[in-house]
Structure 1
């Protein structure tokens, strides 16, 4: 017996002078003759509508897909049998159409088979539609470019899924059989956006900084209120105009949890933190006009403003707690002074302020108090931290902020304790991890803050060169092999010993001995000793 041999009824019955009813009679006679001879007659199917053979569907399309048959061509609802991957698919009549009630489609390949009886005697049809559901975004890994000279073009390399098309800043780039790609972008490109799109239309996008290391900065700190003081502001601007400083560290959010400008971040307004001590855009424009950059300091987790508001409103998880669920007493910082770095709302609040400051024109975001409170870890509880360590939670917070800032082409710095280089768990600042997720580390190596005998220095406060040089050497070691700079905070205030231009200059020399030409000076009153500063070389 011969089977599955298809004979077209139009071809077998064709006669130019016998159209219409006579043609149909001839076709029927042919079919009957073939059937009597043991042949199986396969007629054309009705065609599956809404789902094409070979289609690749992403998750959204797979969830919305509908498949139909023309009821008349299919021979009626009772004559149709449909299966998906071998399982029966219900067939429902909807007017002139038959709907194939497909189940929820899972990831991977699928086969839809539709069988039925044709309107012709002894004839049937069988249609097969093979398709794939691919709801997984393509892999995309991009290596942070190593930039040694800001004047050179930047080479971006990475690897994507082999079925994806890759574009860099909207321009498609070739990938090899392993999915690797490489492209050079012009010098001065701040951020490069790489996009991978697979055959289903799933997309993965990454933004990569193409600026390399943070260029040298020599800055001085000033508070939000201080910026409004003509004398304090004028003193710092004079040091900039004289060529001794090239940056201002201006507070965005301070130790009291107050935001210095009229922030539009909803939570800042809700808790009354947005103070408007200065006009952010105006301040940034004035500093830029003087020839300097603006570093926006955000005191992250020491935030009594948010802590008090959260506790009062019953949102206790936003506050660092004791094991029995009470607010942790931050010692000399006071109750409700430390917010919980593991809480999503607290993290997002600080990141939202960072993004807002970037949009307002700040050149850098510098986190401070990005740590747990000092004291025994056994006396603290961080709701929501899960299996992560405090060090890991802090590092992931910084990493998330860096991703959020990349589209704005801003640098991200992290202020850390001097002891963090050798004691990472003491306040949850792991330098080896933080150098991988930030543009610079700003260690507070103030001589007055070291205890007797640290780094073999009997009295660090009276030996500024020795303690700064030795402590920064540990930070240099941990940053080696990365593009992360070390930008130390240096002491321009007296706390025990009298600090004049000589003591400040000794610290600057100690940093330079570790090949660190950047620094930020701290004086709570924003009064700085210009005699300690040399003019910045322009060549």
Structure 2
């Protein structure tokens, strides 16, 4: 009787004499082979999985970019991620490009069908952003639009923040999200594909801003249509009124309200926005006891963090990075508007604290006159945000002030804030001016 041995790397069968069988089988078993018998003969099957070693992939710079996977293997004839497969080189090395995912499973197979797998966690490298805020109406205005583009042509900005949904709940372009159309929010003020094409041709990135839960358009429509639980209420069951208006805030805990904002974010990402930033991702100002969030399980703070967690993967999968604009005071007073920075930071690529010097009280962070000391208040508040986001992958990219409120702001005041941001170790920032008029002389070129 003879024995057959299957070689896993060559799938070659060899028949040997019975007298040598014992020695061969011993060697085969030590090497990880199993002995089996068939009619009149025995076979040894390869059960040893191939060796698979992966190197950490380079971070992607856009969620639209493929993840390039590299590694080496011993004895594998193929390496796969899903249906994407490559054959290793003679030395066992391989390279495989696959669509982005937060983690991918790489599988190596040998000729006998044995498998090894490694889960590779991917990462994202946030690009540098020197951005200015642009409203939908400003983009549709030739003079304001060209002034922004001139800043880009001069090398003073590399990113434009263009509004998707504003403080009135108006969606600036002709959104196809059903609720935006049904509620009358889609206004068609500007042509989003054309705007994105023009900005991208200039080499600019575009971050779309969605004012999330301050949404008078949706709140009014929901209340009129009997969807009262979509609206933040007072204890008597009427819409919660604030200095933003008699019916301004939607219910952060309501699934349909959350879904609407996520649908807008995903649509924008698919259109080509490079990033999506949620603003007013919070509860209204005021005493929590004066507000009622119908159906809310947990606290508004839980709901805000949960909303970002719910948003993250759909937005990334659609191709955009995700961020949240937050109050400057949130680093030290998280419960005041339900913005817990460490929890929020776990679910965004960056947090964007609004550090406008005019908004701080005298003495905050030991700064006697924050509005008159823009460098000092920016530098010191950024240190707190660095601490609050430590241990997460989120970066901090501040909103800086380019408007006058109490103190006249010009080139020097804008540059002081940018210098403070740089000295705090951050090379990105967003400038805010509601009228979309900026002091280009305060912006460093290059």
SS of residue paired to 2:436: coil
SS of residue paired to 1:296: strand
The CA deviation at 1:395 is 0.7
1:272 pairs with 2:194: no
The CA deviation at 1:149 is 8.7
TM value normalised by structure 1 = 0.64
Residue in structure 2 matched with residue 467 of structure 1 by the alignment = 377
Instruction: Tell me how far apart the structure 2 counterparts of residues 335 and 249 of structure 1 sit (CA, whole Å).
Output: 29
Residue in structure 2 matched with residue 233 of structure 1 by the alignment = 145
The CA deviation at 1:482 is 2.7
Aligned pair in 2 of structure 1 residues 192, 167: CA closer, same or farther (>3 Å)?
farther
The CA deviation at 1:409 is 2.4
Asked if the contact 1:241/1:291 (under 8 Å) is kept, the reply is no
Residue in structure 2 matched with residue 4 of structure 1 by the alignment = none
Asked if the contact 1:307/1:319 (under 8 Å) is kept, the reply is yes
The CA deviation at 1:335 is 1.3
Residue in structure 1 matched with residue 232 of structure 2 by the alignment = 320
SS of residue paired to 1:415: strand
1:508 pairs with 2:421: no
Asked if the contact 1:491/1:523 (under 8 Å) is kept, the reply is yes
Instruction: Tell me how far apart the structure 2 counterparts of residues 280 and 424 of structure 1 sit (CA, whole Å).
Output: 35
SS of residue paired to 1:333: coil
1:365 pairs with 2:276: yes
1:499 pairs with 2:409: yes
Higher RCO, 1 vs 2 (CA within 8 Å, ≥6 residues apart): 2
The CA deviation at 1:191 is 3.8
Structure 1: gaps of 5 or more residues: 1-144, 158-165, 174-182, 198-206
SS of residue paired to 2:272: coil
SS of residue paired to 1:481: coil
Match of 1:336 among 247, 260, 265: 247
The CA deviation at 1:184 is 9.1
Residue in structure 2 matched with residue 488 of structure 1 by the alignment = 398
Structure 1, residues 433-476: CA drift from partner, whole Å, max 9, x if none?
11110001000000000011111111110000000100111111
Aligned pair in 2 of structure 1 residues 167, 349: CA closer, same or farther (>3 Å)?
farther
Instruction: Tell me how far apart the structure 1 counterparts of residues 444 and 333 of structure 2 sit (CA, whole Å).
Output: 34
SS of residue paired to 1:358: helix
Instruction: Tell me how far apart the structure 2 counterparts of residues 252 and 377 of structure 1 sit (CA, whole Å).
Output: 29
Residue in structure 2 matched with residue 442 of structure 1 by the alignment = 352
Instruction: Tell me how far apart the structure 2 counterparts of residues 152 and 394 of structure 1 sit (CA, whole Å).
Output: 30
RMSD, matched Cα: 2.8
Alignment of 1:241-320 (within 5 A): 241-320=153-232
Structure 2: gaps of 5 or more residues: 1-55, 72-78, 87-92, 108-118
Instruction: Tell me how far apart the structure 1 counterparts of residues 179 and 420 of structure 2 sit (CA, whole Å).
Output: 42
Asked if the contact 1:191/1:211 (under 8 Å) is kept, the reply is no
The number of residues matched between the two structures is 364
The CA deviation at 1:169 is 4.5
Aligned pair in 2 of structure 1 residues 149, 172: CA closer, same or farther (>3 Å)?
closer
Which structure has the greater CA radius of gyration? 1
Instruction: Tell me how far apart the structure 2 counterparts of residues 208 and 497 of structure 1 sit (CA, whole Å).
Output: 52
1:383 pairs with 2:294: yes
Asked if the contact 1:168/1:193 (under 8 Å) is kept, the reply is no
Asked if the contact 2:57/2:67 (under 8 Å) is kept, the reply is no
SS of residue paired to 2:306: helix
Aligned pair in 2 of structure 1 residues 319, 292: CA closer, same or farther (>3 Å)?
same
Residue in structure 2 matched with residue 528 of structure 1 by the alignment = 438
Instruction: Tell me how far apart the structure 1 counterparts of residues 250 and 293 of structure 2 sit (CA, whole Å).
Output: 9
Residue in structure 2 matched with residue 355 of structure 1 by the alignment = 266
Alignment of 1:127-146 (within 5 A): none
Structure 1, residues 379-399: CA drift from partner, whole Å, max 9, x if none?
01111212x121111011011
Asked if the contact 1:476/1:514 (under 8 Å) is kept, the reply is no
Match of 2:386 among 447, 465, 476: 476
SS of residue paired to 2:252: coil
1:423 pairs with 2:343: no
Structure 1, residues 157-180: CA drift from partner, whole Å, max 9, x if none?
9xxxxxxxx96353489xxxxxxx
The CA deviation at 1:407 is 1.6
Asked if the contact 1:217/1:519 (under 8 Å) is kept, the reply is yes
Asked if the contact 1:447/1:467 (under 8 Å) is kept, the reply is yes
1:168 pairs with 2:81: yes
Aligned pair in 2 of structure 1 residues 153, 281: CA closer, same or farther (>3 Å)?
closer
